Amino acid sequence: MKLQIITISREFGSGGRTIGKKVAEQLQIAYYDEEIVSEIAKESGLAESFVKEQGEYANTSSHFLFNFNNWGNGMTSTLSDRLYVLQRNLICELAEKGPCVIVGRCADYVLRERRDCLNVFVHANMEFRADRIVRLYGEKEDAPQKRLEEKDKKRSTYYKYYTNRTWGKAQNYHLCLDSGMLGVEHCVQIICEVVNEKNK
């Protein structure tokens, strides 16, 4: 079976988004990242910035209860749970549309029943990532490592909560790449070659 979907999970600052974008460009397929946020913001009526934060970093231990009117079954669920469901449904719909790259948002887990997914995890050491977020995202130079650790912890917690899997466990992905060692461009090349090799 041909590979249609590439999911990219990534450590904050590892260049995973850039890699995903470039892979989509090279393979000439769709790329979904911010589009997911916009669509869910529209559907839920919530602010994009809030949806973005909640979609990967929800503080699942203390998220507040929220009863959506359109939940419809009378059960009270948390806002985070409801957003997860919207996000999951949207990811499934996007995957049905055709070949694409989807970054983050537990897409590897959401699409786990499909046989046409390549699941990639991108990571890098602290030094590479700290340098990258200061340089590219204009993060404050004081304590970028602390910020990275917090982001990693939140992503990991979110992933564990909704998937019961361990974030960054090699066995959950087909390909794990150290972008700090390999370089962003080389990661793009490896992923594209894997897809082309499987699909030839």
* 97 contributes a contact to its own copies by CB under 8 A: no
**Amino acid identity, residue 192?**
C
Give the residues across from 8 on adjacent strands.
Answer: 103, 120
Site for its own copies in 17-46 (CB under 8 A): none
Minimum CB–partner distance for residue 11 and its own copies (Å): 8
Q: Report if residue 174 touches its own copies, rule: CB under 8 A.
A: yes
Q: How far apart are the C-alpha atoms of 4 and 109, rounded to whole Å? A: 16
CB-wise, 42 or 146, nearer to its own copies?
146
**Interaction between residue 114 and its own copies (CB under 8 A):** no
Give min distance, CB of 157 to its own copies, in A.
16
Comparing CB distances to its own copies, the nearer of 27 and 177 is: 177
* Beta-bridge partner residues of 78: 65
Interaction of residue 108 with its own copies, rule CB under 8 A: no
Binding flag, residue 192, its own copies (CB under 8 A): no
Among the listed residues 18, 43, 46, the one whose alpha carbon sits nearest the alpha carbon of residue 33: 18
Bridge partners for 198 per DSSP: none
Out of 29, 46, 85, 182, the only residue in the binding site for its own copies (CB under 8 A) is 182
Q: Which is nearer to its own copies, 91 or 187 (CB)?
A: 187
At a CB cut-off of 8 Å and minimum separation 6, what does 67 contact?
Answer: 76, 77
Q: Is 186 in the site for its own copies (CB under 8 A)?
A: yes
Q: What is the DSSP annotation of 6-30? A: EEEEE-TTSSHHHHHHHHHHHHT-E
Half-sphere exposure of 124 (CA within 13 A, CB side): 22
Q: Which helix (H) or strand (E) holds 43?
A: helix 34-44
Kindly state whether residue 128 participates in binding its own copies, applying the rule CB under 8 A.
no
Which range of residues in 15-23, 72-80, 104-112, 166-174 is near its own copies by CB under 8 A? 166-174
Residues near its own copies (CB under 8 A) are: 11, 118, 121, 123, 168-171, 173-178, 181-182, 186, 190, 193-194, 197
